[in-house]
Each structure stands twice: as C-alpha cells, then as structure tokens.
Chains A and B, each alone.
Chain A
C-alpha cells in the first residue's frame, strides 16, 4: 500500500535555528514528490516537485531533497513567517494523477 509518513509531527524553533523535516514514503513507482505549505484556515500552497533521487530544489530559506525512500525539507535560518504546516505528498505511477498526502509537520518559529 502506498504510504507517506512525516516526522516530526510538530517542531518548535528559535528564529535563525536551522532544521530539517522528514518525509518517508512507500510507493509502487514514484512519479513525483510534492511539498506544500499550509497556513491556518487556508488551502495548501504548492512549494516544490521532485522527480528523481538526488534532485534538489530551493526557494528562499527552503531546500527540498529526495532519495529513493525519503525527502527532506531543510529550513535555513527560519523566520517567524515560516511558521506553518508543511505537507508532503507522493504521486505513484499506478495512481494516475492522484496525490497521497502525509499528515504534515507543524512548524513554529519564535523570535
């Protein structure tokens, strides 16, 4: 069964304290791995797509990496405005275009 597990469930950081979020996946053939950001009361906002092991994408203080079994979202020198829930999702070859989401990591950054 295709599955996505994110850890930790919650993460508290001080402003400037870098860290990483983990997304482990089990899928029957990976078409793509997606990272989203979700703010309270809003819909998920697309951040990155990764397609193959070794691929990396960057946007401001965020960098996403991909291996054959997991993805990391690295947050460098976070700011309070980076506080949100970060969702990981995979698209499997057998699932058409449907995404399977993890339950997310809620990040809180305090100044």
Chain B
C-alpha cells in the first residue's frame, strides 16, 4: 500500500557535522511537509512544498537548515552544521492540496552529541 518513506530511521552524529534526511512522498501527492517533534514543543512545521516549489520555510533556522525537492519523488532536509539542540524526530508528510489530510512517514530520529 502507498506510504511515505524516510531514510535514515535513526542518525547519531557529532556537533558540527552535516546531516541529510530523505523522504519519498506518496506517488501523486503534490504537497510535501517537513515537521520536527520534541517533547517540549510537540510537532512544529519546518517547511512545505507544493508541486516541488517551496511555499513556506519560516519554521526553519535559515542559517543551518535547508529543504529541497530535486524531483517529485524525493524531498531532502539538510542541517549544516548540526547542533545538540537539533536532536528531535523529523517527520515528512505528503498530501493533496485539495484534501488537506497529510500522511506521515515513520520519522528520522536524530541525536546530535
């Protein structure tokens, strides 16, 4: 059945290193979202795309985070350089703009030491 996939599922890295997370949205979905989840803040929107074009990235620290969609089957979220406060679970979600419902991937659990 159709589902959002994310890689890697877990990532442990050291402060200052580059981290790249990947997402494959559900085929045919035209909106893609990146969220970050922490115990303190809950789910926060980082960025989202419609038809591969970035619409809103106001939730991202611009100096270190970047999000792209090289093609319709791949979305990437990059952190460079990473910091311990970036430790969280990062979720990708996709959906159809008309419906509003978003379908989430399993997440990437990032730990920055």
Convert B86-113 into 0s and 1s, putting 1 for each residue whose CB lies closer than 8 angstroms to a CB of A. 0000010101010111111111000000
Task: Determine whether the beta carbon of B100 is less than 8 Å from that of A31.
Answer: yes
Task: Output the least CB separation between B23 and chain A (Å).
Answer: 11
Nearest Cβ on chain A to B87's Cβ, whole angstroms: 16
- Select one of B42, B55, B104 contacting A43, CB under 8 A: B104
- Residues of A in contact (CB 8 Å), total 22
Given contacts A43-B106, A97-B31, A97-B95, whether A102 and B42 have CB atoms under 8 Å apart is yes
In the complex, how many angstroms separate the beta carbon of A10 from the nearest chain B beta carbon? 13
Contact between A45 and B42 (Cβ–Cβ < 8 Å)?
Answer: no
Which A residues lie within 8 Å of B100 (CB)? 31-32, 34, 49, 91, 97
In angstroms, Cα B100 to Cα A102, docked, is: 17
- Whether A42 touches B55, Cβ cut-off 8 Å, given contacts A32-B100, A102-B42, A103-B42, is no
Instruction: Find chain B residues with CB under 8 A from A87 CB.
Output: 43
Q: Is the CB of A43 within 8 A of B101?
A: no
Q: Which of B31, B104, B106 has the most CB of A within 10 A?
A: B104
Contacts of A49 in B (CB 8 A): 99-101
Instruction: Kindly state the separation between the CA atoms of A62 and B91 in the bound complex, as whole angstroms.
Output: 25
Chain B residue nearest to A48 in the complex (CB): B101
